[in-house]
Structure 1
């Protein structure tokens, strides 16, 4: 019974939210008209020196704020509308002409202006229907008892009922219930219709989507090249300062032992023992260096096995849940592993967490990685390079990262990589504590 009530209650709550959203839509649609008037005046004054350079960008900023608000409202009900604007010029603050030109030459600016009046008409009309129909049905339900009471005549201590008023009032009850239910059912669809209409004007065109895609690829390519160059410099530095120095020292020690082998065999044996120990240390450092480039566990056991091995090596208990029916391509697998590894490293260094968990899943062509800890929270991607490095690493493969870290915790980092799994799973799914 409780489950049935919940199933019936969800559409009702969704309908009520849509009715409230319809009220907001009507109020916002009214603001489109003065915005359109201001835009027309600003464009008419554009040829005026200095005045047009200042007034047009300011007015278009207001129009874009209104359009962005409509995009966010559409996205909240499942209609994704991406911002289609050109990126701002690098020297936008150097002068008003660059900002004026950036605003006026952007086709999205004119599409925003073209949407203001139709958007006001459609938004106001559909929003009014969303609000009026449920309220009319609600009035039939709530005001019917009042109508019946007003339809009675009181004479002394007795009441004489009007049969016609009473029967009409009873008929209003089921009518009001039907109208209210129909209004609540139709309100979400009307709001989605309004959002789809707004998307016709406010979403990027095909050319704009290609331009935004090229811009994104340019940025991610530059980040990837920079990250690879930094990684090569790190490897070179580690080789020069670590393994190479130890190998040079090892060669000198063996040379001294060779000189002393005839004159002082005991000292030569001591030097050879030191050389043996130094070679072992160099080998360990070399293994650590190789593991930083591409961990052997990742190549041998796949992403799930490598993450389990990493979790077991950390001082904080980490529960690992793996649900991967295969393995992604090697570059994607390496990026996913190092993203998780960097996240866990930040967790150990900064969060003060007592427990954590890692979840890896693949569904609908997307590899999802969720890292959660019970630490102090307050993680800020702009405060350090660790989280920004993860974002750059994922962006090279069109991946994304979402961070939720309120003060006091918990911290939840969700990373997603679009990819396909190419080979069957070789290890069963399990949970490691």
Structure 2
């Protein structure tokens, strides 16, 4: 197994470690740490001195806040540098501001625990870590150089032996300290479990808002089509009817007018089907069971619907579950080659359990980027989960569980 950290690399056989890139990566990590630490000292000292001097006239808060926020930049640089000696990526623990603008960003950062951990790490780095980085580098490379230089002055050979030992051991010395420094940095800068949980909840809430916005946009499009395009088609049909009254019987224009009326009727039917699919009235008026049964009655293959629910679901959940079932049935029609399907659902222990089966050729793979990916995304927003059983040759079973509560 390939090592992921500097300490894991040191556990390899000596030859493997010494011929790898890890000693050089550790050296680069410590050398850059000296420069980053020196820069952190300059920024912190400037901000703190300016803040304390100006605090007398009550305008020193801004430099102090700037010094605190500058630690975010130091921490960001440190997370990037960690990739030299720790290949496991460290996610950004900061959450996005609720509103745009500098004021919201500053307010958000100052109320986060991770900002103050980053400030503490920056202070430790400025006060001690970069000095220790420099000390290790001087010990491993500067000291042997001085000892070898002393031989020209007639010093005894034991100092040369000691310098040689220090130089030969420098890959292990440098890597050991680099690993310890990286572990310390990860302790301060890695997100805590509660911060990861909060980020996950924010992502999930964003997905829910996105799906809700899609549903709202779907309703708006349905309303615009119903009140706009559909009414224009009705008006066009009436105009064609009036034109027929003015055309003499037997006129060749009559046949063309009949063809136009047939095309208009077909377009009107397609538009009505599209509107019904965007926001089915039966879903709003009669609920999920009736809407799924209505959709199944117009499906190209026979679909048995067996949904046993104690009542109506909350509106948003009902809409999402309907389109989830709709999308699953569409996948069956497009990909399965099935001759029949079944939608079974029940409510148990605050879970809506759906099982959608078909007798198609099977082989459905959720990881292949098919329509199952869209189902998984919608379920994630609903805090649900799904399981697919689809052996080659069929049948296919889609098992879905969605948390829900009835009033």
- Which runs of 5 or more structure 1 residues have no equivalent in the other structure? 46-50, 94-98, 153-161, 306-321, 336-395, 399-417, 429-433
Distance 1:30 1:282, change over 3 A: same
CA distance in 1, matches of 2:108, 2:264: 65
The question of 1:67 aligning with 2:58 is answered no
Contact 1:253 / 1:271 at 8 angstroms: preserved in 2? Answer: yes
- Residue 230 of structure 2 contacts residue 268 of structure 2 at CA under 8 Å; is this kept in 1? yes
The reply on whether 1:121 has 2:124 as its aligned counterpart is yes
Alignment correspondent of 1:172: 163
Q: What CA RMSD, in Å, does the superposition of the two structures yield over aligned residues? A: 5.6
CA distance in 1, matches of 2:173, 2:275: 66
Count of residue pairs the alignment pairs up: 299
Structure 1 equivalent of residue 368 of structure 2 = 324
Deviation at 1:133, TM superposition (A): 2.1
CA 254–5 in structure 1, closer or farther in 2 if over 3 Å, else same: farther
Tell me which residue corresponds to 1:229.
216
Q: What does 1:128-143 correspond to in 2, within 5 Å?
A: 128-139=131-142
In structure 2, distance between residues paired with 1:204 and 1:39:
31
Q: Deviations over 1:313-346 (max 9, x none)?
A: xxxxxxxxx95288647555579xxxxxxxxxxx
Say yes or no: does 1:423 pair with 2:388: yes
Partner of 1:189: 179
SS of 2:60's partner is helix
Distance in 2, matches of 1:26 and 1:128, equals 8
2:27 match:
16
Three-state SS of the structure 2 residue aligned to 1:9 is: coil
- With the length of structure 2 as denominator, give the TM-score of the two structures: 0.51
CA distance 1:115–1:291, shift in 2 (3 Å): closer
CA contact (8 A) 1:328 1:420 kept: no
Could you tell me whether the CA contact under 8 Å between 1:123 and 1:194 is conserved in 2? no
Q: Is the CA contact (8 Å cut-off) linking 1:326 and 1:421 kept in structure 2?
A: no
Cα-to-partner distance string for 1:43-100 (whole Å, 9 max, x where unaligned): x65xxxxx53x4324531332123343244235524445236975798959xxxxx99
- Distance in 1, matches of 2:223 and 2:186, equals 54
Which consecutive residues of structure 2, in runs of 5 or more, have no partner in the other structure? 1-14, 83-88, 280-322, 336-365, 394-407
Instruction: Quickly say closer, same or farther: Cα 1:146–1:123, change in 2 above 3 A.
Output: same
Whether the aligned pair in 2 keeps the contact of 1:253 and 1:275 (CA below 8 Å) is yes
- Contact kept? 2:31, 2:134, Cα under 8 Å: yes
Aligned in 2, Cα 1:220/1:182: closer, same or farther, shift over 3 Å? same
Question: What is the distance in 1 between the residues matched to 2:134 and 2:268?
Answer: 75
Residue pairs, 1:306-317, within 5 angstroms? none
In 2, are the aligned partners of 1:60 and 1:103 still within 8 Å (CA)?
Answer: no
